[in-house]
Amino acid sequence: MTYEPPITDYDYIVENCTCAFCGCNCDDLDYLVKDNHVVAVRHACRLGASKIMEDMDQRLIVPMIRDENGELMEVDWDTALDKAAEYIANSVRPVFYGWSETSTECMKEGVALGEYIGAVLDNQATICHGPSLQAVQNAGYPIQTLGEVQNRADVIAYSGSNAMNSHPRHMARYAVFCRGYFRQRGRFDRTVITMDPKFSDTAKCSDKWIGFEQNGDYGFYNAIRAVLRGKELYQDVISGIPKEDIYELAEEMKAAEFGVLFFGLGLTHTLSKQRNIDIAIKMVQDLNRFSKWGLTPMRGHFNVNGFNIFMAFECGFAFGVDYCRGYPRYMMGETNTIDLLVRKEPDCFMVIAADPGAH
């Protein structure tokens, strides 16, 4: 390990900033600023710090429009806004996509505009946690805040998520290593379980790793549900796991004072898709007959989940909402961004607070 001397050449510090990288929304960051440019970030993980420090180099400070030769040229804001309004007003099948890195207030304006012109509003869930949102609308949403996890949780379970790499501060600040009001000893007061076919970095930090077979998610969680409901398992091995281990795991989960299941795309995008999340939600509901349990998806961009919650509140559908008939509609395979693009329907594609080319 090399020693990196502290940065001393800066003009001022902006304290208690919120990170705009992942769904953890860490709000304890300090920005070191010199010449109106962030030169260092304290308390952030490497992913968050790199995003913040490189942001000004990657963003467009002034609007640009392509000229007749196809080259981007700088224009004033009035010209750019007029051109954007012209495209939107003349479009037949507009799509507004993104919204993951902006505020709810901006989303509200976007819904108003989309409803007015008959656009489709969609976000990254259309290619990532869409099955999770479908399952939530089918089976419910036994959720809790990260503050409750920090202060109360004594059993932390990860499924289909490698939090050590995807959300680097999640375990340290919210779930595992942090001290809470009822968990004063931090890691020593918590049991960590990773349920994943891959022996990930998160599994290496866990007390128990359940390596069920690939695409065995649904059968594995269904077996746990059966045990929780007092049923006997007749197969000796289920999804690659001996039934004795499933009995033992079910007892450990029942004995929790406050348990939380964090799941990621590894659970969402295997063979059974939304049915995996359906059964995981129902398993958590079964566990609540014995103790207190919650469930939370490990989402990516900092407000990607906010858009889905906002849209569900505003119009009843979490993503892929089509206003072309003057009222909100939602149909898997019809009103989602990827399906629309594959059919070459959109004639105006507006990206708001997202980078689909990179992500």
pLDDT (mean) for 192-209: 95
Q: Per-residue pLDDT tens for 295-345?
A: 999 998 889 999 999 999 999 999 999 999 999 999 988 999 999 999 999
Exposed/middle/buried for residue 110 (C-beta within 10 Å: 0-12, 13-18, 19+): buried
Q: How many helices (H) and strands (E) does the chain have?
A: 13, 16
Q: Which two tokens stand for residue 130?
A: 């869409």
Final residue of a structural domain among 297, 315, 331:
297
Read off φ and ψ for residue 235, nearest 5 degrees: -80, 140
User: Is the same domain home to 310 and 293?
Assistant: no
Q: Tell whether 231 is covered by a domain.
A: yes
Same-domain status, 148 and 159: yes
β 237-238/120-122 pair status: unpaired
pLDDT at residue 232 tops 80? yes
User: Tokens 């959109």 label which residue?
Assistant: 346
246 lies in the same domain as 151: yes
- DSSP assignment letter at 22: B
Beta pairing partners, 148: none
Of 273, 297, 321, which closes a domain?
297
Domain that holds residue 20: 12-57
Element (H, E) at 106: helix 104-117
Give the three-state DSSP class for 165. Answer: helix
- The count of structural domains within the chain is 4
E-strand stretches of the chain: 12-17, 29-34, 37-42, 64-66, 72-74, 94-98, 120-122, 155-159, 191-195, 208-210, 237-238, 241-242, 258-263, 292-297, 321-322, 348-352
In terms of domains, do 196 and 330 share one?
no
The answer to whether residue 115 is domain-embedded is yes
**Lowest mean pLDDT: which of 2-6, 85-89, 117-121, 320-324?**
2-6
Residue 6 has pLDDT above 80, yes or no: no
Q: How far apart are the C-alpha atoms of 93 and 105, rounded to whole Å?
A: 24
Do 164 and 270 fall into the same domain?
A: yes
**Measured between alpha carbons, how far is 21 from 43 in angstroms, rounded to an integer?**
14
Q: Give the confidence band of 1 by pLDDT, cuts at 50, 70, 90.
A: very low
Same-domain check for residues 143 and 292? yes
Domain co-membership, 150 together with 221:
yes
Whether 255 is in a domain gets the answer: yes
- Of 342, 301, 341, 347, which Cα lies nearest the Cα of 99? 301
Cα distance between residue 183 and residue 245, in whole Å: 27
Distance CA 69, CA 73 (A): 10
**Residues 141 and 283 grouped into a single domain:** yes
Q: Are residues 28 and 47 in the same domain?
A: yes
Q: What is the pLDDT of residue 3?
A: 44
pTM of the model: 0.90
In a domain, 3, yes or no: no
Closest CA to 257 of 176, 149, 145, 155: 155
Strand ordering across the sheet containing 191-195: 208-210, 191-195, 155-159, 258-263, 292-297
The answer as to whether 202 is a domain residue is: yes
Which of 68, 90, 112 terminates a domain? The answer is 90
Q: DSSP state, 301?
A: B
* Chain segment 16-39, per-residue pLDDT in tens: 998 888 888 899 999 999 888 888
Does position 5 have pLDDT exceeding 60, yes or no?
no
pLDDT tens digits, residue range 108-157?
A: 999 999 999 999 999 999 888 988 999 998 898 999 999 999 999 999 99
Residue 359 inside a domain? The answer is no
Whether residue 96 is contained in a domain is answered as yes
Torsion sign, CA atoms 238, 239, 241, 245: negative
Strands 237-238 and 241-242: antiparallel
**Do residues 67 and 156 both lie within one domain?**
no
Verify that 123 and 139 share a domain, yes or no: no
* Three-state secondary-structure class, residue 235: coil
Residue 358 lies in a domain: no
The verdict on 164 and 289 lying in the same domain is: yes
Q: What is the per-residue pLDDT for 57?
A: 72
